Amino acid sequence: MSAVSKQLADLSRKIFDRLPQNHIKSGNKIISKQLKGEKVASWFQKPLHLRVGGYSEYYQKVNQYRLDVNATAKQQGRGPPKKGAGKRSSKKK
């Protein structure tokens, strides 16, 4: 390569912000692509409470009933065991 073409190549690299080609994969092609997050998120429907505009009274009642059932089960000793006190850890001892 002549000196003029080398200078021209250096100038074009500076102007267009291109790296010299050394045939090594750098990942710039993937990084420069547009992100797909918005497209992927738009494939799925929003949760019902967001589509309706917040939790309705029905869902609040259902959730409160579920919490009450869990609380009574815990009082009667039928709740989930504490962390690290399950069936598997009792077998090791």
Percentages helix, strand, coil for the chain (3-state, rounded to 5) are: 60, 0, 40
Q: Which two tokens stand for residue 68?
A: 């009450």
Residue 70 belongs to a domain: yes
Distances (CA, A) of 64 to 35, 37, 68, 69: 40, 35, 6, 9
Residue 21 belongs to a domain: no
Residue 33 belongs to a domain: no
- pLDDT at residue 81, as a whole number: 78
d(CA 91, CA 86): 9
d(CA 21, CA 7): 15
Residue 4 belongs to a domain: no
pTM, two decimal places: 0.38
Residue 25 belongs to a domain: no
- pLDDT at residue 42, as a whole number: 86
pLDDT along the chain (93 residues), means of 10: 81 78 74 87 81 76 92 91 79 68
Residue 73 belongs to a domain: yes
- pLDDT at residue 62, as a whole number: 87
What domain range includes position 73?
46-78
Residue 52 belongs to a domain: yes
What is the domain count for the chain?
1
